[in-house]
Chain A
Amino acid sequence: MARYFTEEHEWIDVEGGTATIGITDYAQSQLGDLVFIEVPETGTELVKGGEAATVESVKAASDVYSPVSGTVTQANEALGDDPALVNSDPEGQGWFFRLTIADPAELEGLMDKAAYDAFVASLD
């Protein structure tokens, strides 16, 4: 399994043709306490860079983008009852949704962990 990252602070785990997607620890720390998360319904067709989910903190609503195009196969229903899972375990139990990857070529250009960490360090 390989994990990639985007400049919009999503992570994507790729295993075969399936990807699991969430937001990074840096993203959750910037958003603060999350109080509402809307994940896409199963079957939703997502496009790379398009809106996939919405997160709301106390202060603001923000969009989460899909790092690749594909069809949603599963959403993390636990986030409906406990959005704070994304704050406590953003890169584990706080995953957002899974999809079947439409075009593996879209993974090219995403960052690996070292590149993402360097990217985050450059933001401060």
Chain B
Amino acid sequence: MTETTTAEQTQALPLDAWHRARAARMVPFAGYWMPIQYRDGIIAEHEWTRSHAGLFDVSHMGQLIVSGPGAAAALEALLPADLASLAPGRMRYSLLLDENGGILDDLIVTNLSTGEGTAFYLVVNGATKHDDIAYIAARLPAGVSIAHLTDHALLALQGPEAAMVLDRLLPGVGDEIAFMQSTARRFEGARIGIGRSGYTGEDGFELSLPAALAQALAERLCAEAAVRPIGLGARDSLRLEAGLPLYGHDLGPETDPVSAGLAFAISKARRAGGGFPGAERIVALLADKPPMRRVGLKLDGRMAAREGSALFRGEQEVGRVTSGGFSPTLGQPIAMAYVARDHAAEGTVLEAQVRGRRLPATVVRMPFVPHHYHRNGGA
């Protein structure tokens, strides 16, 4: 996480004072002061989220609405997702691509369309949101508009007890929606958008609401014995264990969806029909297999291989770590890396160069820790 800015430019999020009152250590991230950890520390916060429920303030992320009669087609020109077949209330992981098929951002798109009109809700990365908005806005046809919900906060409630807790506050949500589905409720008189998704590998929800109500919601949730606030540090270790890539580290304009192992985000209909940025190159990569692949690595011992570590097989340099650290759940270091195709098979033992030393690193299947998504509707 190196999206640091100087203190003078760094903005406060709606819950800034609330975090500080909970002894959060605040760091500049993606242009905002954000809690990296609270008093319990990253490992305790990580383990709490895996066993109970963690509340994450992710209000730095960009919340966008793309609306208008041609919104689906306009977004399909920018994303490889099949939005024509995405039913209202359904969510999909997608990628904002440049003309060469390079990844400008990863995002979640939700179909919010009603009888009254077509609208899609996009949640994009905080560090890239302003570039994303400019890129999308410049490519929308007349009649389709983009709005940035700057007056909205986004909170994520994640963990095996998230559904139980949320159901007390907003009854029926847990039964109503499954993983990658969304709904809405009223909270203190305002609409709260609820998506069953997250960035931890656990069951959980992302809650979008007016910033003025964020503190009331955070306090109601943290009044529950099962809920503790969780900082960015544990968010990173949780997503790493879940095998979920982090934009700016594991994904970027120099990577493509196929090499990144995100081919699932290119819908079948779109592979055949094309019409998204970089379609020609991406379809060719799907057919020919890319030269490099994003893989998971497990290391022996406790010394971690982190972003930038070169990977070797014998004398040959075959790849590079894009993010890595200590897995609290597994009790050993794990990493994501791009590795040359011939050396990327599961079980291959590579060596990571760390501070002049070579550490054995075995290619393993991701996720490192199994996902616990709630995939079926109804409990």
Chain A residues engaging chain B, CB cutoff 8 angstroms? 32-33, 35-36, 38, 54, 56-61, 83, 87
Check A36/B233 contact, CB under 8 A, given A56-B326, A58-B43, A59-B42: no
B125 close to A (CB within 8 Å): no
For the complex of A and B, the 4 pairs showing the least CB-CB separation, nearest first, are A36-B302, A35-B326, A33-B43, A58-B42
Of the candidates B46, B236, B302, the one having the most CB atoms from chain A within 10 angstroms of its own CB is B302
Q: Shortest CB–CB separation between residue A8 and chain B, in angstroms? A: 18
Q: Which residues of B contact A36 (CB under 8 A)?
A: 301-304, 326
Per a CB cutoff under 8 Å, which of A54, A59, A83 touches B236? A59
Q: Which residues of B contact A32 (CB under 8 A)?
A: 36-37, 41-42, 233
Residue of A nearest to B302 (CB): A36
Q: Which residues of A contact B234 (CB under 8 A)?
A: 58
Q: How far is the CA of A59 from the CA of B328 in the complex (A)?
A: 11
Q: Are B233 and A54 in contact (CB under 8 A)?
A: no
Q: Shortest CB–CB separation between residue B375 and chain A, in angstroms? A: 29
Q: How far is the CA of A11 from the CA of B37 in the complex (A)?
A: 25
Per a CB cutoff under 8 Å, which of A33, A61, A87 touches B304? A61
Q: How far is the CA of A61 from the CA of B306 in the complex (A)?
A: 9
The 13 listed contacts between A and B (C-beta, < 8 Å) are A32-B36, A32-B42, A33-B41, A33-B43, A35-B43, A35-B326, A38-B303, A56-B302, A58-B328, A59-B42, A59-B233, A61-B306, A61-B355
By secondary structure, the B interface counts as mixed
B200 close to A (CB within 8 Å): no
B204 close to A (CB within 8 Å): no
Q: Which residues of A contact B43 (CB under 8 A)?
A: 33, 35, 58
Q: Are A33 and B42 in contact (CB under 8 A)?
A: yes
Q: Shortest CB–CB separation between residue A91 and chain B, in angstroms? A: 18
Residue of A nearest to B1 (CB): A59
Q: Which residues of A contact B259 (CB under 8 A)?
A: none
Q: Which residues of A contact B41 (CB under 8 A)?
A: 32-33, 87
B237 close to A (CB within 8 Å): yes
Q: How far is the CA of A6 from the CA of B280 in the complex (A)?
A: 58
- Return the CB mask of B113-139 against A: 1 if under 8 Å, else 0: 000000000000000000000000000
Q: Shortest CB–CB separation between residue A38 and chain B, in angstroms? A: 7
Residue of A nearest to B42 (CB): A58
Residue of A nearest to B41 (CB): A33
Q: Which residues of B contact A56 (CB under 8 A)?
A: 302-304, 326
Q: Are B303 and A58 in contact (CB under 8 A)?
A: no
Q: Are A59 and B303 in contact (CB under 8 A)?
A: no
B160 close to A (CB within 8 Å): no
Q: How far is the CA of A4 from the CA of B233 in the complex (A)?
A: 32
Residue of A nearest to B240 (CB): A58
Per a CB cutoff under 8 Å, which of A54, A57, A60, A87 touches B355? A54
Of the candidates A54, A59, A60, the one having the most CB atoms from chain B within 10 angstroms of its own CB is A59
Q: Which residues of B contact A33 (CB under 8 A)?
A: 41-44
Q: How far is the CA of A35 from the CA of B233 in the complex (A)?
A: 14
Q: Shortest CB–CB separation between residue A33 and chain B, in angstroms? A: 4
Q: How far is the CA of A38 from the CA of B354 in the complex (A)?
A: 13
Q: Which residues of A contact B1 (CB under 8 A)?
A: 59
Q: Shortest CB–CB separation between residue A51 and chain B, in angstroms? A: 9
Q: Shortest CB–CB separation between residue B20 and chain A, in angstroms? A: 12
Check A58/B233 contact, CB under 8 A, given A32-B37, A35-B326: yes
Residue of B nearest to A36 (CB): B302
Residue of A nearest to B331 (CB): A35
Of the candidates A33, A56, A60, the one having the most CB atoms from chain B within 10 angstroms of its own CB is A33
Q: How far is the CA of A91 from the CA of B324 in the complex (A)?
A: 29
Q: Which residues of B contact A54 (CB under 8 A)?
A: 355
Q: Are B302 and A35 in contact (CB under 8 A)?
A: yes
